[in-house]
Amino acid sequence: MKGIGIIGCGKISQVRHIPEYSDNPNARLVGYFDLARERAEQMAAKYGGKVFDTVEDLLADPTIDAVSVCVANNMHADVTIAALKAGKHVLCEKPMATNIEDCERMVAASRQYGRYLMIGQNQRFALAHAQARKLIKEGAIGKVVSFRTTFGHSGPETWSITPGPGTWFFDKKAAVMGVLADLGIHKTDLIQYILDDTITAVTARISTIDKCYADGSPIGVDDNAICIFEMAGGAVGTMTASWTFYGQEDNSTIIYGTEGIIRIYDDPACSLKVIGKDGTVQTLDIDRIQTNDNQTKSGVMDAFIDALEKGVQPPVSGGEVLTAMRAIFGALESSEKGVRVEVNR
Ligand SMILES: NC(=O)c1ccc[n+]([C@@H]2O[C@H](COP(=O)([O-])OP(=O)(O)OC[C@H]3O[C@@H](n4cnc5c(N)ncnc54)[C@H](O)[C@@H]3O)[C@@H](O)[C@H]2O)c1
């Protein structure tokens, strides 16, 4: 049985972390901390456990074995490192951190203090993604040549616990990056996972095209990110992340190989389609991808607890996510300088 502390009791904690720990027979919710105390109180009242006055108090509790870090992006690194130093295992939400030095410090702290670090890249746990990885490994579409991976919806204004155009997701200081790091990191990590390959060069255009604050001025971070990724294995494809897909979410990935095509979460009627070179179509309806409005169980918390119970590194370690984060920061550099940027070489 693992004692769990929750740091940050906003939307992702409320719809995913806390309910999924609560459902896990090997997890016990010990307590909560949030800068907005009433959110911690609401969670304690609903799921049990206590409210801590400070993050230091929570980290000093010896009955807490592990924490979820669910605060704004700019605090991920400091809170994670403080927790690792206090001897807690950490499940930190994405994006891992807001610069590569902080990401590397998190991985080093995990090693130094002998505690596990997992990053909440939940897309790896969507069943059709795992199935696509398996099919590609088995050679179902031959050698991968190209891909198109997309994550777009109408923006975080309706998501955050403090909704509206004043959300911290639009604030340069708290979020640091916009949709590139919010949705783009999901697909950047995912494409490396599905292809079992590494991004080695990025060419990107990161823009703020449409989103505005209440006064009509443009938001402080990007609302559209379009990247070309070159993979070590030779494939070249695109990753698009957008907060301006109004009307319908797109969470699809299409992989083009020498022997066919795999389309994932691209058709509402089936989660995975394998199209042979000869045009034959095989469909597999495994599950439905989560959307903001339809939260299904992510499986992330179960995987974290399961690994801790076994005393092994949970999946999606901080070290594994470093290559995806380098691609994200490379995309920013590419867009700023108007050049192709090599990463992970
Ligand atoms: N894996 C996913 O699909 C997914 C989805 C949404 C959000 N997230 C990530 O989760 C994190 C939280 O996002 P959210 O949607 O829950 O935001 P939110 O605005 O709904 O909630 C954030 C909460 O953190 C609290 N907070 C901020 N700084 C804090 C600090 N230093 N100490 C304690 N509490 C603090 C706020 O008071 C708020 O209650 C973000 O990094 C976001 O990128 C991941």
Q: What domains can be seen in the chain, in order of their start residue?
A: 2-122+300-316 (3.40.50.720), 123-293+323-342 (3.30.360.10)
Amino acid at 67: V
- Please spell the DSSP secondary structure of 144-191, one letter per residue: EEEEEEEEE-S-GGGTSSS-STT-GGG-HHHHSS-HIIIIIHHHHHHH
Q: How far apart are CA 309 and CA 196, in angstroms?
A: 27
CB 242 within 8 A of CB 249: no
Q: How far apart are CA 238 and CA 228, in angstroms?
A: 5
Q: Angle of helix 185-195 relative to helix 318-337, nearest 10 degrees? A: 120
pLDDT for the residue 295? 67
C-alpha of residue 154 to centroid of ligand 1, in Å: 18
3-state secondary structure of 272: strand
Q: Is the pTM of this model over 0.85?
A: yes
Tokens of 213: 């604050």
pLDDT for the residue 292? 67
Q: Whose CA is nearest to atom 3 of ligand 1?
A: 122
- What is the 8-class DSSP label of residue 317? B
Measured over the CA atoms of residue 185, residue 188, residue 194 and residue 200, the dihedral's sign is negative
5 bridge partner residues: 31, 67
Return per-residue pLDDT of the chain as tens, 345 residues: 999 999 999 999 999 999 999 999 999 999 999 999 999 999 999 999 999 999 999 999 999 999 999 999 999 999 999 999 999 999 999 999 999 999 999 999 999 999 999 999 999 999 999 999 999 999 999 999 999 999 999 999 988 898 899 999 999 999 999 999 999 999 999 999 999 999 999 999 999 999 999 999 999 999 999 999 999 999 999 999 999 999 999 999 999 999 999 999 999 889 999 999 999 999 988 877 766 666 678 999 999 999 999 999 999 999 999 999 999 999 999 999 999 999 999
Q: Annotate 224-271 with three-state secondary structure.
A: EEEEEEEECCCCEEEEEEECCCCCCCECCEEEEECCEEEEEEEECCEE
C-alpha of residue 289 to centroid of ligand 1, in Å: 21
Amino acid at 133: R
Q: How far apart are CA 92 and CA 190, in angstroms?
A: 17
Give CB contacts under 8 A, 24+ apart, made by 283-289: 284/128, 284/131, 286/127, 286/128, 286/131, 287/126, 287/127, 287/128, 289/126, 289/128, 289/251, 289/265
C-alpha of residue 14 to centroid of ligand 1, in Å: 10
How many of the other CB atoms lie within 10 Å of CB of 127? Answer: 15
Tokens of 199: 């991004």
Is ligand 1 within 6 A of the CB of residue 290? no
CB 92 within 8 A of CB 80: yes
Whole-Å CA distances, 166 to 97, 159, 272: 22, 12, 37
CB 150 within 8 A of CB 179: no
pLDDT in tens, 37-82: 999 999 999 999 999 999 999 999 999 999 999 999 999 999 999 9
Of 188, 15, 191, the residue nearest 94 (C-alpha): 188
Is ligand 1 within 6 A of the CB of residue 122? yes
Tokens of 264: 């994932």
Q: Annotate 278-304 with three-state secondary structure.
A: CCCEEEECCCCCCCCCCCCCCCHHHHH
CB 118 within 8 A of CB 93: no
C-alpha of residue 72 to centroid of ligand 1, in Å: 5
3-state secondary structure of 205: strand
CB 269 within 8 A of CB 275: no
Choose one of 14, 161, 182 to mutate for the ligand 1 pocket test, by most ligand atoms within 8 angstroms of C-beta: 161
Of 250, 160, 155, the residue nearest 212 (C-alpha): 155
